[in-house]
Amino acid sequence: MKNSDIAQVFAQVATLLEIRGDNIHRVLSYKRAAENLGEYPEELTKLSAAGELTSIPGIGKALAEKIQELIDSGRLTYLDNLAEEIPLSILELLKIEGMGPKRVKLVYQELGVKSLDELDEAAKDGSLATLPKMGQKSVDKIIAGIQALKSFGTDRVKLGEALPLAEEILEKLQKLPAVTNASIAGSVRRRKETIGDIDLLVATDDPEAVMSTFTTLGPEFEVALNGPTKSRIVKKGLGIDLRVLPAENWGTLISYFTGSQAHNVRLRERAKAMGLSLNEYAFSKIDSDEKILCPTEEDVYRVLELAWVPPELREDKGEIEAAENDSLPQLITLDDIRGDLHMHTTWSDGSHTVLEMAQAAIALGREYICITDHSYSLGIANGLNEERILAQHSDIQQVRDQLGDQIHILHGTEMEVRNDGRLDFEDDLLESLDFVIAAVHTGLSQPRQQVTDRMLGAIENPHVDMIAHPTGRLIGRRTGGDFDMSAIIEAAARTGTILEINAHPSRLDLKDTYVRMALEHGVKLAINTDAHHVDQQKLMHFGVSTGRRGWAEPKNIVNSWAYDDLIQSITM
């Protein structure tokens, strides 16, 4: 079994235990194990052979034995026993906004609902509304959630899932001697937060050899089309398309299959106005058979008398005009990032110590980090009270002394904004911290004005430096709070409060459209990983891509600034 397969089993166990109402610490141990296993860089089978499964963070003897059982047999008796009590099919119900573990358990026990279709039927025939604390608004919300899941959850895949697969396949194709150029294209190259399928492009004079490799990648891929210049394979419903052309056509090929439809229409219209037609093969003069070949993508834009447009901007949202006027932004890059201002340790719900998180940041070339464990109201995350915050400060100081000038370590908090709008900590404690994050994790279903007022209250607090993952969304699972984002962005601009672009591919929050809106209002932004594991610090590039889609430049992203400039900004 792959690491991801084993992690999925542990995640299922955690969810079933949560539905059953088991001890929260047991639930969390399986959740953390699932997270650590899914992201662990080494194959678990190799660790098993070496007898080193317990070297994985969060994996003790009991969990190691369960991993071993999965490796040996492909099954887990513990999960099988749980599934006899609570069918695995009801896990699908948790994907619907408004359906938490307690409510899923209720509809299963009271109505026998164990699938999306059965829940949809119960909602529409009125039986769902008969359950305790289930008013018509809740029912309507669940119906909408079911429809969203059916259209969104089955047709779109998160970038965080698609990009690694695309890179894995591309790497295999690039190793072929016949390949002179290869790239990811389409919405994955534009780094959209969700994608419909994966597009891969190859320049080669031997398409047969390339297609032969592509269509024989492994039994997990079903071949849907096998042609001389285009083939399609499918993995678990996700389509992967490959197109090949000679190197002389590379520029038009990658341009054509990268841009959004709207962007490409603008390019073709511009070509037509210049007496040309444009497709994936070449430019052609309308009044003759003469063709203009473009070996590079830059050549395409040069022919159109435009500056080259970064892939993330190709959405027909002003980039054509900016390219024409040579006013495209100098977009933020991963190399610009100097620090990470949002991460968690074993003090709350993280998997690694302050020292381990700092050492991982050093390995990535970070100049500074901020430790921001949860505050006490988020009990499920083992949040810190004032006493533990003070104890944590001593721990951080010891790590500072140990690492010296290798990295700056700030002490902060991710403070909960409670359902009634109060903040977890008083101003005197907040004033003693280096960096204060406020976040809304609960009560996201509150009416718009109420949930917005909670956020605005945090923004108005002079000790709050940043708002984390401002909408609270989880891509494909929940839409987040119904915040008045215009009011929030305006307040952040007025108070100088930083808004976060959360780099985790399940969040990417702020989304790109809000990023651009924030920039237009002069709001300062930060791109952070919200890492709960050392390896999650490597997810920064997803946040950078979202920033780029929102036209962000280094001057807009505070954690691309030098340390002294950042400190001066947050202490003003």
Torsion from C-alpha of 411, 414, 420, 426, nearest 10 degrees = 0
- pLDDT tens-digit series, residues 455-468: 999 999 999 999 99
Q: How far apart are CA 71 and CA 163, in angstroms?
A: 27
Q: Is residue 171 part of a domain?
A: yes
Whether residues 167 and 143 share a domain: the answer is no
Looking up tokens 């099954």 gives 75
465: helix, coil or strand? coil
Q: What is the mean pLDDT of residues 411-419?
A: 96
Q: How far is CA 517 from the centre of its chain?
A: 20
| 220 class by beta-carbon count within 10 Å (0-12 exposed, 13-18 middle, 19+ buried) | exposed
| Distances in whole angstroms, Cα of residue 471 to Cα of each of 46, 308, 508 | 40, 33, 10
Structure confidence at residue 183 (pLDDT)? 97
Q: Is residue 256 part of a domain?
A: no
What's 99's domain CATH number? 1.10.150.110
User: 285, 305, 324 — which closes off a domain?
Assistant: 324
Contact partners, residue 128, CB within 8 Å, separation at least 6: 107, 111, 119, 122, 134, 139, 142
What's 368's domain CATH number? 3.20.20.140
Looking up tokens 């597009």 gives 199
CB burial of 226-242 (b: ≥16 within 10 Å; e: otherwise) equals eeeeebbbeeeebbbbb
Whether residues 383 and 285 share a domain: the answer is no
- pLDDT tens-digit series, residues 442-453: 999 898 899 999
Whether residues 236 and 137 share a domain: the answer is no
Helix or strand (DSSP H, E) at 235: strand 230-235
Whether residues 461 and 484 share a domain: the answer is yes
| 471 class by beta-carbon count within 10 Å (0-12 exposed, 13-18 middle, 19+ buried) | buried
Rg of the chain over CA atoms, in angstroms? 25
Q: How far apart are CA 380 and CA 91, in angstroms?
A: 20
Q: How far apart are CA 260 and CA 316, in angstroms?
A: 8
Q: What is the mean pLDDT of residues 288-309?
A: 95
Q: Is residue 257 part of a domain?
A: no
CB burial of 482-508 (b: ≥16 within 10 Å; e: otherwise) equals bbbbebbbbbbbeeebbbbbbbbbbbb
Whether residues 173 and 65 share a domain: the answer is no
User: 324, 349, 368 — which closes off a domain?
Assistant: 324
Whether residues 303 and 231 share a domain: the answer is no
Q: What is the mean pLDDT of residues 1-30?
A: 87
The answer to whether the beta carbons of residues 299 and 251 sit under 8 Å apart is yes
Confidence band for 97, pLDDT divided at 50, 70 and 90: low
What's 300's domain CATH number? 3.30.210.10
Q: Is residue 114 part of a domain?
A: yes
Q: What is the mean pLDDT of residues 87-95?
A: 85
Q: Is residue 145 part of a domain?
A: yes
Domain count, the chain: 4
Whether residues 78 and 168 share a domain: the answer is no
Q: For residue 92, which amino acid is it? A: E
Q: With pLDDT > 70 as the criterion, what percentage of the chain qualifies?
A: 97
The answer to whether the beta carbons of residues 342 and 502 sit under 8 Å apart is yes
Q: What is the distance between the terminal CA atoms of the chain, rounded to a whole angstrom?
A: 53
Could you tell me the maximum CA-CA distance found in the chain, to the nearest angstrom? Answer: 80
| 80 class by beta-carbon count within 10 Å (0-12 exposed, 13-18 middle, 19+ buried) | exposed
Structure confidence at residue 150 (pLDDT)? 64
355: helix, coil or strand? helix
Read off φ and ψ for residue 300, nearest 5 degrees. -60, -50
Structure confidence at residue 460 (pLDDT)? 96
Contact partners, residue 208, CB within 8 Å, separation at least 6: 228
Confidence band for 510, pLDDT divided at 50, 70 and 90: very high
Whether residues 351 and 486 share a domain: the answer is yes
Q: What is the mean pLDDT of residues 554-568?
A: 97
Confidence band for 41, pLDDT divided at 50, 70 and 90: low
Confidence band for 152, pLDDT divided at 50, 70 and 90: very low
* Contacts by 402-406, CB closer than 8 A, 24 or more apart: 402/355, 403/355, 403/358, 403/359, 403/362, 406/362
Alpha helices in 443-521 (DSSP H): 448-460, 485-495, 512-520
Helix or strand (DSSP H, E) at 188: helix 186-189
Whether residues 295 and 381 share a domain: the answer is no
- DSSP label of 307: P
For residue 158, how many other CB atoms are within 10 A of its CB? Answer: 18
Whether residues 232 and 377 share a domain: the answer is no
User: 128, 153, 178 — which closes off a domain?
Assistant: 153
Structure confidence at residue 124 (pLDDT)? 87
Q: With pLDDT > 90 as the criterion, what percentage of the chain qualifies?
A: 70
384: helix, coil or strand? strand
By residue range, what is the domain housing residue 192?
157-245
- DSSP label of 423: B
Q: What is the mean pLDDT of residues 37-48?
A: 75
pLDDT: which is higher, 299 or 260: 299
CA 400, 564, 336, 334 dihedral sign is positive
Q: Is residue 37 part of a domain?
A: yes
Structure confidence at residue 90 (pLDDT)? 87
Whether residues 299 and 233 share a domain: the answer is no
Q: What is the mean pLDDT of residues 374-403?
A: 94
Whether residues 359 and 313 share a domain: the answer is no
Q: Is residue 523 part of a domain?
A: yes
Tokens of 183: 């790239």
Tokens of 420: 């009634």
Left (φ > 0), alpha (ψ -120 to 50) or beta: where does 305 sit?
left
Tokens of 448: 């718009």
| pTM for the whole structure | 0.76
Structure confidence at residue 39 (pLDDT)? 55
What's 222's domain CATH number? 3.30.460.10
Structure confidence at residue 148 (pLDDT)? 56
Structure confidence at residue 40 (pLDDT)? 67
Q: Is residue 258 part of a domain?
A: no
Among 185-189, 325-329, 390-394, 474-478, which is the least confidently predicted range?
474-478
